[in-house]
Structure 1
């Protein structure tokens, strides 16, 4: 009770009017640190969507927006945009995944050889069907790839390799290698399920053993007005992942061993496709429920009579993984740093004597760790006319552990956001650089992609590997974070943050916002952009 009152007092004090409204030239490091320390404190229990810890964090953000004078753009005159949620968690006994060849059944071991999530549609799901191998499960004519050519997968479960073929352009490859993209394509061909095989390459990005960490977590989806899950892929009744160790057991019917198949992939040789000569059965029992979380939305209205009706979105996700048993996952870099940056950029922009020409929506998003739920809901149900959303800039997990002098901007090359990023970075003495970790597929793995799918040009910024300090290897530090602390309890306040880098990063975000808010032309997709052609809106 005493802790609860303390937190309420902290939130209330932050909402008091501020009389020191002078705009600093650069981000205020002390403020950034203060936000970070509150948001990543173990008292918030990892800020999992739908929990008290998340609600406390959201109240904190709302109070900061109120202090800065942002206009509330949530429901009923508040800062909170409610996101209705469906929930589902696996029930005992554990899920069952079986293979049948020539009338003989064999069972794969749960979490050692296969993983799956709770079913959002049914409390009891029992799906059986023949297996068909479809390479990577990608159809991309511009890259000469069609894994479904000549295949009949109607009523079957498609088996695909994780990710995308080596050599595909990074961001386009990230789209085609995305699990949801593969499910949607399989469903369009009439498949009823998708089994993804882990590969040595995918083990680097998302090791299979991490499935144990999420086995008891609650799956969520935003709830449409008809009661369905808003992210549901119609027709996809069975979805599972199989480990590197168990994958060869599914591919015996190809006449080519798993190791040979992987070697063919790396060498760029064509893969065999076709029926695997076995059936699979996936059985799951799930417990359903409902919840509600919310995005936190504040507005700084533009000054230009016409351009103020165009909105730039600056977003960051507020949620993290919560706690498992007594172990808290604080999510300091992922993504308390992002929210601290969001609040500080709002402070830099709010006290301007003359606001930007365009309006800016500052949005703290829920449910990113549950599948980009808050951003998907917001992009589809914005509090302003959907056609008025001109661009989205997202802040997610900037790994600020070195004195970075390069900026990486996935998505920038596809729209006029790219030149804007270069100009903003240049004013701070920074260069733009290619993504040093393209295998992470960052452009399709965070909230900015929810806006892209609605035809809105978007970008996400992060530090490059080069450092102003010749003794630092930024790439090594970022790789070490991903290996040792990403989605682990060690992503906490004890990490060796580079404070000057955090200050520079927040300043950069503010400079980019100024650039986008003042340029005469509305951000648009570039001619020939893959994402512009796939999702772009007329005139967008």
Structure 2
């Protein structure tokens, strides 16, 4: 099918606007739509990090920053902060995983029963080791959990359930249930690999069959000066994910049916742990390369003699999934929408007759879809003194399909950013609502987590399902998006965006920045905050 030329699509833009009153003027809806139109156009081929499509999108963002007078804070006086990348892709020969008992081995079916990712360190991994079941693979003493207590995993592969037990609250659970957190912990206990077992609950959040769509994807990591991957976990030699259908094959020695074990886990009951009487043999071949992408960074200095040295960082990721053959993944909601918001807030700030007291960095980051690479690089190589970074507000995939009247602020209860978010919401006649899907662990699934891990308070806002329009079911609309269009070609410009909600959400982001930019006290972790205690304030 022939694609409509970009300029013709832009010319047709006004026809998209609903003839309905806007309650709070300020954010310019036509500008938001124009940004969205350009960034999600198939011309940009899905904006995958390290590709020409991404570079076109980055040039667009830089031109907007320049138009509104932001100070370039990239390399050599530009807006571009280069992010060196290592790349890896699975070789044509499919990976192999065998489960062996007493010299007899059963080979699991690639992409039906197991999946694995390319190895960014070695071109070939051939690993054999005994298997030990370690429950969820979590060490959380404050919640009475230590899955490695009395367990010997040295030189072995730890087998763990995906996710977290129910007694850990959602955002703390997002940290402990994070795959990287589990792998780091296993390696600290001497394990050489981690095999993760899917569960019915993890299937809801991330269905195993989705791995088929991404089997040809290029994995990336930011590259440290010594050539090592910045996210590399030294000592980790093997990792794999097992489907719900194949998981029982690994747990027979526990003398508890898999369905019962999962039911016990989800009820918070004690799980059996120990040697499974099995060994695994995992072989995977990877093809390595290098790439380069960049963050786009602009700066507006605050006006207060002291507070201008405290810098708020507003982020949104510019990259998306790219293309697969002739199929483009436009990434309109994820995250052309977030970048449109960032650009509009930058304009509002630049044109405001009353500058903020604090300084603001506006950062369009690369590589979020590859593991938060651009934000991880940025917090380690900020263009201002690291200690001056006091808060992060991240904008990622606000699903704006209904006339939302409440806001979910992930991370709000952990820092003073929560009070600022509540004031911003109330200024627009909105309420704060609790996370409606804590099992999805969303607080650790985007770029704000890179800042949190460096001790910087962060928050990310999203629309709640409640609507000003009683005929709308916002929760159903958002579920439909996640089920049918999230990370799919259908995340495109044909979606039924609710334009009044789009404008309101941009205004909300501007209101939050205003709150943070003028409040007298420095943003801080709240007493007893898990993340504040885990990662500590930046010093």
Category of TM-score, reference length = shorter chain: over 0.9
1:6, distance to aligned residue in structure 2 (A): 8.6
1:273-325 CA-to-partner distances (Å, cap 9, x unmatched) read 00100100110111100010000000011001111111000000000000001
Question: What is residue 445 of structure 1 aligned with on the other side?
Answer: 445
1:354, distance to aligned residue in structure 2 (A): 2.9
**Preserved CA contact (<8 Å) 2:451 2:458:** yes
Question: What is residue 424 of structure 1 aligned with on the other side?
Answer: 424
* 1:394-413 superposed matches below 5 A: 394-413=394-413
Instruction: Show structure 1 runs of 4+ deviating over 2 A.
Output: none
Matches of 2:461 and 2:281, distance apart in 1: 42
The 3-state SS of whatever aligns with 1:461 is: strand
* 1:16-415 superposed matches below 5 A: 25-415=25-415
1:306-358 CA-to-partner distances (Å, cap 9, x unmatched) read 11111000000000000001111000000000000000000110012231000
* 1:513-532 superposed matches below 5 A: 513-532=513-532
Q: TM-score, normalised by structure 1?
A: 0.95
Matches of 1:250 and 1:506, distance apart in 2: 49
Task: Give the alignment's Cα RMSD to 1 decimal.
Answer: 1.4
The 3-state SS of whatever aligns with 2:30 is: helix
Count of matched residue positions in the alignment of Structure 1 and Structure 2: 521
The 3-state SS of whatever aligns with 1:486 is: coil
Structure 1 residues 482, 60: closer, same or farther in 2, change over 3 A?
Answer: same
Query: Structure 2: which 5+ runs fail to align?
Result: 11-23
1:268, distance to aligned residue in structure 2 (A): 2.2
Matches of 2:498 and 2:353, distance apart in 1: 32
Matches of 2:372 and 2:410, distance apart in 1: 17
Matches of 1:247 and 1:360, distance apart in 2: 48
1:538, distance to aligned residue in structure 2 (A): 5.7
1:440-486 CA-to-partner distances (Å, cap 9, x unmatched) read 21100000000000000000000011110111111111111111111
Query: Structure 1: which 5+ runs fail to align?
Result: 11-23
Q: TM-score, normalised by structure 2?
A: 0.95
**Preserved CA contact (<8 Å) 2:157 2:192:** yes
Matches of 1:175 and 1:266, distance apart in 2: 17
**Preserved CA contact (<8 Å) 1:303 1:354:** no
Matches of 2:456 and 2:366, distance apart in 1: 20
**Preserved CA contact (<8 Å) 2:320 2:331:** yes
Matches of 1:25 and 1:381, distance apart in 2: 37
1:243-268 CA-to-partner distances (Å, cap 9, x unmatched) read 00000001111111111111212332
Matches of 1:170 and 1:331, distance apart in 2: 27
Matches of 2:499 and 2:537, distance apart in 1: 40
The 3-state SS of whatever aligns with 1:382 is: coil
**Preserved CA contact (<8 Å) 1:436 1:475:** no
Matches of 1:537 and 1:76, distance apart in 2: 31
Structure 1 residues 79, 280: closer, same or farther in 2, change over 3 A?
Answer: same
* 1:492-511 superposed matches below 5 A: 492-511=492-511
